[in-house]
Amino acid sequence: MTDDFPYQETKITPSMPEAQPMVPLHGWGRASSTSAHLTQIESISGAVSALRSAAQSGRGVVPRGLGRSYGDAAQNAGGTALDLTKLNRVLSVDAESEPPTVQVQAGVSLDSLMRTLLPFGLWVPVLPGTRQVTVGGAIAADVHGKNHHTEGSFGNHVASLDLLRADGEIQTLRPEGDTADLFWATIGGMGLTGVVLGATIVLQRTESAYFLVDTERCTDIDDLMARMSEGDDGYTYSVAWFDAVSRGKHMGRAVLTRGNKARLQDLTPKLRRDPLQFVAPSLGTIPEIFPNRMVNRATAKAFSTAWYYKAPKYRVGELQNITSFFHPLDIVAEWNRIYGPHGFLQYQFVVPFSEDETFRRCFELIVNSGHVSCLNVLKRFGPGNAAPLSFPMQGWTLTVDLPIEEGLDSLCNTLDELVVAAGGRVYLAKDSRLSASTFRQMYPRLDDFLAVRRKVDPDGLFNSDLARRLQLH
């Protein structure tokens, strides 16, 4: 440990954690579960000693946060998974500096981080579709949000991070200078360069916790893409939901929601009394009672039609809170149980803007495949960043949630081929099925990543089911 290391140790931990029993771990898609020794990390020294004992097992170690990766990124069959969710303190907030920053431990969730920061009028610059991810996970997956076209991905806002490396040393990494290579390999590196123990995040200031939202219904996919191409630059946040079930004249109908942060003067007098209120309603937890095929053509069609007509045809300047604009799925916990025990997979890809024909073909393939998806998201990405495994790149991105059913493999394989041919890629945080060879074609800077990884972890101590599947050694 370096002398200037900023963390205060308050808890006394045994120098060597006891051997942990094997527990089954799965991703958010719940499709492929494997067992690993799950070790709770409650202090920095605990992390160091857990890493040391995991090194002896021979099956490696992977850091794990809130388990929101859809696939096998935070699973490590036969090895160790370090549960970092207890390493969850916000260490310091610097609201005075310009820009403001916050220093956090890696296990803090974006949800609790936002609750901490809002009273200071501070805002987390990048929020994915759920607040239930840790800062460490947001870094490891280089998550993006509805504002990618204006703000980029999470890694763009990390001023520095503290990485526990395979050799047991803790190193502070910055996006520029000597440590830049390891910093950017860690951004989007799926936990395979080391354990992120903490980070300093650059924040934005905000006058309110509300958004001014414009909503429009689009009749089909062409209408949607045209409107997004024209109007997106006028908004900080932009995303579209589309109907991936209906065929014929309703094929690709969509609801486009775009907005900007509301300023004080935009709020109603009532909201102005507490403009930074964090509205996060909860309707409880989805019980584990749903059978497979609960999400089928009939229910998906009913949902899609209802969702489409629920949206106003055209409405400008509506005030929405964080949850309704950003995280409608956070209202219920464990919503992935809807898909039943077989689980589901999420397929998210991006192709460059020049490949909008490929994009349309992929869309049509999905709609015509017979596989149904309800939670479909379409968005335009801005430029990517320096991280070799970061997903976003300038182009169209599309996400579908597909229940695991017969024939899904060939649909996904066909989509892979189209995406590769278009110079696009699939998002690792969602992936649970890519092959190593396809992955290599999608991420041309893979060798840059592997070079850094081999240097910092020559024995492959950091390992995961995803790493084995995609041969990230």
Residue 142 interacts with another protein (CB under 8 A): yes or no:
no
**Element housing 270 (H / E):** helix 269-272
Judged by CB, which is closer to another protein: 10, or 56? 56
For the bound state, the minimum distance from the C-beta of residue 369 to another protein, rounded and expressed in Å, comes to: 14
Part in contact with another protein (CB under 8 A); list of ranges 82-90, 250-258, 351-359, 429-437: 429-437
Q: Are 457 and 194 in contact (CB under 8 A)?
A: yes
Give the residue, chosen from 127, 408, 452, 472, that forms a contact with another protein under the rule CB under 8 A. Answer: 408
In DSSP terms, 36 is beta-bridged to 23
For the bound state, the minimum distance from the C-beta of residue 197 to another protein, rounded and expressed in Å, comes to: 26
Judged by CB, which is closer to another protein: 219, or 410? 410
Give the closest residue to 128 by CA, choosing from 106, 107, 154, 108.
Answer: 154
Q: What token pair was written down for 293?
A: 């095929």
Give the residue, chosen from 17, 28, 36, 351, that forms a contact with another protein under the rule CB under 8 A. Answer: 36
**Which residue in this structure is represented by tokens 């494997």?**
34
224: left (phi over 0), alpha (psi -120 to 50) or beta: alpha
Part in contact with another protein (CB under 8 A); list of ranges 76-84, 107-115, 238-246, 365-373: 76-84
Residues in contact with another protein, shown as a per-residue x/- string from 43 to 72 under the rule CB under 8 A: ---------------xx-----------xx
Judged by CB, which is closer to another protein: 165, or 433? 433
Give the residue, chosen from 13, 132, 469, 472, that forms a contact with another protein under the rule CB under 8 A. Answer: 469
What length does the chain have? Answer: 473
For the bound state, the minimum distance from the C-beta of residue 105 to another protein, rounded and expressed in Å, comes to: 29
Give the closest residue to 277 by CA, choosing from 351, 209, 324.
Answer: 209
Which 104-133 residues touch another protein, going by CB under 8 A?
none
Amino acid at 34: T
Residue 410 interacts with another protein (CB under 8 A): yes or no:
yes
For the bound state, the minimum distance from the C-beta of residue 34 to another protein, rounded and expressed in Å, comes to: 5
For the bound state, the minimum distance from the C-beta of residue 294 to another protein, rounded and expressed in Å, comes to: 17
- Compute CA distances 402 → 65, 297, 408, whole Å: 24, 11, 8
**Element housing 239 (H / E):** strand 237-242
Give the closest residue to 39 by CA, choosing from 84, 88, 82, 85.
Answer: 82
Judged by CB, which is closer to another protein: 163, or 412? 412
Give the residue, chosen from 433, 452, 456, 472, that forms a contact with another protein under the rule CB under 8 A. Answer: 433
Part in contact with another protein (CB under 8 A); list of ranges 77-85, 142-150, 218-226, 302-310: 77-85
Residue 370 interacts with another protein (CB under 8 A): yes or no:
no
Q: Are 279 and 323 in contact (CB under 8 A)?
A: yes
Give the residue, chosen from 34, 40, 236, 394, that forms a contact with another protein under the rule CB under 8 A. Answer: 34
In whole angstroms, give the CA distance from residue 55 to residue 459: 10
Q: What token pair was written down for 445?
A: 């800077």
Q: Are 231 and 154 in contact (CB under 8 A)?
A: no
- Compute CA distances 6 → 89, 160, 403, whole Å: 13, 13, 45
Residue 432 interacts with another protein (CB under 8 A): yes or no:
yes
Edge-to-edge order in the sheet of strand 22-25: 22-25, 34-40, 80-83, 61-64
Q: Are 346 and 430 in contact (CB under 8 A)?
A: yes
Q: Are 209 and 322 in contact (CB under 8 A)?
A: yes
- Compute CA distances 234 → 134, 149, 216, whole Å: 30, 11, 15
Give the residue, chosen from 32, 153, 257, 260, that forms a contact with another protein under the rule CB under 8 A. Answer: 32
Give the residue, chosen from 41, 47, 61, 77, that forms a contact with another protein under the rule CB under 8 A. Answer: 77
Q: Are 456 and 165 in contact (CB under 8 A)?
A: yes
Give the residue, chosen from 1, 16, 19, 22, that forms a contact with another protein under the rule CB under 8 A. Answer: 22
Residue 29 interacts with another protein (CB under 8 A): yes or no:
yes
Q: What token pair was written down for 39?
A: 């070790």
Give the residue, chosen from 437, 444, 447, 458, that forms a contact with another protein under the rule CB under 8 A. Answer: 437
Give the residue, chosen from 6, 15, 16, 24, that forms a contact with another protein under the rule CB under 8 A. Answer: 24
Residue 436 interacts with another protein (CB under 8 A): yes or no:
yes
Judged by CB, which is closer to another protein: 72, or 232? 72
For the bound state, the minimum distance from the C-beta of residue 343 to another protein, rounded and expressed in Å, comes to: 7
Part in contact with another protein (CB under 8 A); list of ranges 34-42, 165-173, 181-189, 221-229: 34-42
In whole angstroms, give the CA distance from residue 457 to residue 126: 29
Where along the sequence are the contacts to another protein (CB under 8 A)?
22, 24, 29, 31-32, 34-36, 58-59, 71-72, 77-79, 343, 345, 404, 408-410, 412-413, 432-433, 435-438, 465, 468-469
